[in-house]
Structure 1
Amino acid sequence: MHFSKKLRSASYLLLAILSGLLSACDKTPVNPETKMSEFIVGSYAKENEPSIYRIQLDPQSGALSGLTTLANTVNPSYLALSADNQTIFAVNETEKGGVSVFNWQDKHNALSLASKLSDLGDNPCHISISPDGTMLTVANYSSGDIRLFKIEGISSQETSLREFARHQSQGQGAHERQEAPHMHWVDWSPDGKFIYSVDLGLDEVKVYELDGEALLRAKVAFKLQAGDGPRHMIFSVKQGFAYIVNELSNALVVVQQDSSTGELTEVQRLSALTEEFTGESYVSAVKLSPAEDFLYVANRGSNSISVFAIVAKGKLEFLQDYTTAGNWPRDFVISNDGEFLLVANQLSSEITVLKRDNKSGLLSSTDSKIAISQPTYISQL
């Protein structure tokens, strides 16, 4: 009996040593010469919690590390980065919304507040910068308007914004969430000629032009189906098409732009979800691969990323529906080299990493993730 105990103890010790050796062998060695990729994250962090972060991705293994608190500002749910990445613009998604402007400090380890504007409309949820880097625009969800600003002193410690134009939308839609206009996205066309806004409340994409600092009368560039609830749109520079995701219907609509008028014409309409999924889900973000040969859509509820190949004349062909390994993917980003896709899972409070094949466009799992309170936005620096 005593001998058996000693034998078992020796066996357990040997197994523990072997297990430790195997675990050590399984760990991916860290190459000190590897240049880490950096990403910035905005969030719905609780009051008095840090809300803007930086994380690092190992471009070889996909491992996440280097979680750094950059700033504490209220609900920076969407960010915009200047062309040189030296200035960060954040919406403050509150009832009387605002925009906070930050500049980097301490070798990208902190952000300092350069300026802040308040009372800019209710619940701003999207922000973007003009292609020439001189203007900024904000979409206000609850008040249903867009605002335009001149960027002054870019990348200096006194970077500030001067509002020069706005457009207030009017009306309502068919869905219970469409009791009023709800601007959810606003940005310039790639050539900078037109400004487009996506109105979830009216099922419309509007188009605008500027005459100096005068915003000309808004036109309806594209009317979606009743109850679609358009959320975001993205342009393909190479293909000359745009892709609209609809939050309420989960429809994905391909449109072609008239370069002279800015109007959009439907090319294709399909679902962002698979036929097999029967639960409740709402699309969020839409992104193109670096080569613009694949398109990706995040689905909150099914908690997946839908993958599409871009084929002839900008049309889409469904390839894959893949889990985000988290809950409520509000935003995601594809790394600049196309090797990884990082997902901001809002309700599970984590960033997860998926492996991406540049040739096939398909996604696969990794074990890489990092905890961040209610992430809503992610972009590579």
Structure 2
Amino acid sequence: MGTTGTGRAFIGSFTTAGGRGIIAASVDRETGALTELGATDAVANPSFLALSEDGSVLYSVSETAEGAVAAFDVTGAQPQLNGASVAVGGQDPTHLALTAGHVLTANYSSGSVSVVPLRGEELGERTSVLVHEGSGPNAARQQGPHAHQVLPDPSGRWVVSVDLGTDSLRVCALDAATGALTLHGETALKPGSGPRHLVFHPEGTHAYVLNELEPTLTVCRWDAGSGTLEPVGETAVVPDGEYTETYASEIVVSHDGRFLWAANRGHDSLSVLALDESREKPALVTTVGCGGHWPRDLALDPSGRRLYAANERSGNVTWFDIDPETGIPRRAGFIEAPAASCVVFG
């Protein structure tokens, strides 16, 4: 993505909360401004999206009790559904990722990870469902497993799932030929922390886990050779005394690996954390307003110069210019997007 001309973005939303499904938008590369091009509600609750490597196909979860994944042709102005959606065999998929010719979904309510093969521009039938086991000390939120995210590691050798209900991370191996997903190992985190999302450092040596039930960030060393995660520290993502009713949602790392940004629902803020040379001691620099209410997702544009917050309850996506020296975002504009839940860039 250059610094002039236009690019594309896609906004997911909750149709059951008044969202319009998937909104396609143009991106002014000079200003970061989004302008709507079209929308589709062909799938219920497309709350999380991912683009194919060439940017021609958009994949979406359907965060419903039935649980499904769908593929859209996005070569035109408005997304067009490619074939039928495919059941993932899990309830309320909240996240998906592409790896080794497959789509993987994290299914929150059933606490599982599903594998669906790619068949050209359409989807095949699911090949595997790996069910998590366990619970946590928070009786209201951790009565059982709740897989919230799944993603490949930077080496492409492993798949990592983040489970809010069991306070743990699971490292799995995906057989690209058969689509079978097998458990390799599990890493326990602080009881009651409720891990939600994880991001790897660009150097591939560390992972940062954002916790929802406690607004903290857990730093882990990552060994791609052995497929192991080792927790080494924890940092608050909001100032002392401001924990009440704060539910962190998404974590992003800068392209140069110097900064982390976290979105905080309730606190309605974006946290700025600076990383030291060890990559193991993030320091909270400041928090800034998210430009709305209940920021469910936070995305860095391909240039690395802007952040976009999907504010679910205020129904807007706000963009911010990032100070390259301090990492502090400055609000620059917004677009209305009812029940917005995520933003991805083409």
Asked if these proteins are the same fold (TM beyond 0.5), I'd say: yes
Amino acid at match of 1:114: G
> Given the alignment, which residue of 303, 325, 328 partners 1:337?
303
Q: Deviations over 1:293-342 (max 9, x none)?
A: 21111000111111112212212122221111100000021222222211
The yes-or-no answer on 1:377 pairing with 2:342 is yes
Equivalent residues in 2 for 1:87-102, closer than 5 Å = 87-102=57-72
Aligned to 2:82: 113
Where do residues 313-324 of structure 1 align in structure 2 (5 Å cutoff)? Answer: 313-315=278-280, 316-324=282-290
Q: Does the 8 Å contact 1:127/1:136 carry over to 2?
A: yes
Q: Distance in 2 between matches of 1:218 and 1:46?
A: 34
Q: Whole-Å Cα distance in 2 between the matches of residues 324 and 377 of structure 1?
A: 14
Judge conservation of contact 1:298–1:306 (CA < 8 Å) in 2.
yes
**Which residue of the partner structure matches residue 91 of structure 2?**
122
Q: Residue 232 of structure 1 contacts residue 244 of structure 1 at CA under 8 Å; is this kept in 2? A: yes
Separation in 2, partners of 1:197, 1:287: 17
Say whether the 8 Å CA contact 2:322–2:330 is kept in structure 1: yes
Deviates more, 1:275-284 or 1:341-350: 275-284
Query: Gaps (5+ residues) in structure 2?
Result: none
Q: Which runs of 5+ in 1 are unaligned?
A: 1-32
Would you say 1:247 and 2:216 are equivalent positions? no
Is 1:81 the counterpart of 2:48 in the alignment? Answer: no
Query: Partner letter of residue 83 of structure 2?
Result: A
Residues 1-381 of structure 1: pairs in structure 2 closer than 5 A: 34-46=4-16, 50-105=20-75, 107-118=76-87, 120-130=89-99, 132=100, 134-153=101-120, 155=121, 159-176=122-139, 177-211=141-175, 212-213=177-178, 215=180, 217-315=182-280, 316-366=282-332, 368-381=333-346
The answer on whether the counterparts of 2:265 and 2:296 sit within 8 Å (CA) in structure 1 is yes
Higher helix fraction (1 or 2): 1
| Structure 1 SS opposite 2:84 | strand
Kept after mapping to 1: 8 A contact 2:44/2:63 = yes
Structure 2: how far apart are the matches of 1:349 and 1:49? 8
Q: Kindly tell me: are residues 173 and 49 of structure 1, through their superposed partners in 2, closer, same or farther at Cα, counting changes over 3 Å?
A: closer
Deviates more, 1:309-318 or 1:205-214: 205-214
Cα distance change on mapping 1:49 and 1:194 into 2, 3 Å:
closer
Contact 1:152 1:162 (8 Å CA) reproduced: no
Give me the TM-score of the superposition, normalised by structure 1. 0.84
Query: What is the aligned residue count?
Result: 341
8 A Cα contact 1:281 1:301, kept in partner? yes
Could you tell me how far apart the structure 2 residues matched to 1:377 and 1:54 are?
A: 12
The amino acid that maps onto 1:242 is A
The alpha-carbon deviation at position 58 of structure 1 amounts to 2.4
Bigger mean CA deviation after superposition, 273-282 or 237-246: 273-282
Tell me the distance in 2 between the aligned counterparts of 1:269 and 1:290. Answer: 22
Change (3 A) 1:260 1:221: farther
Distance 1:335 1:217, change over 3 A: closer
- Contact 1:71–1:110 (CA<8 Å) still a contact in 2? no
The amino acid of 2:93's aligned partner reads P
Residue type at the aligned position of 2:158: F
**Secondary structure in structure 1 of the residue aligned to 2:330:** strand
Distance apart, 1:266 and its partner CA? 1.7
Q: Matches of 2:181 and 2:308 in 1, distance apart?
A: 38
The residue type equivalent to 1:270 in the other structure is T
Return the TM-score normalized by structure 2: 0.92
- Provide the C-alpha distance between the structure 1 equivalents of 2:258 and 2:119, rounded to a whole number of angstroms: 36
Select the structure of larger CA radius of gyration: 1
Cα distance, 1:208 vs structure 2? 1.1
RMSD of aligned Cα (Å): 2.0
SS at match of 2:278: helix
Deviation of the 1:37 alpha carbon: 2.9
The question of whether the paired residues in 2 share the 8 Å contact of 1:44 and 1:77 is answered with yes
Task: Using the TM superposition, give the Cα deviation of residue 97 of structure 1 relative to its aligned residue in structure 2, in angstroms.
Answer: 0.7
What amino acid sits opposite 2:162 in the alignment?
Answer: V
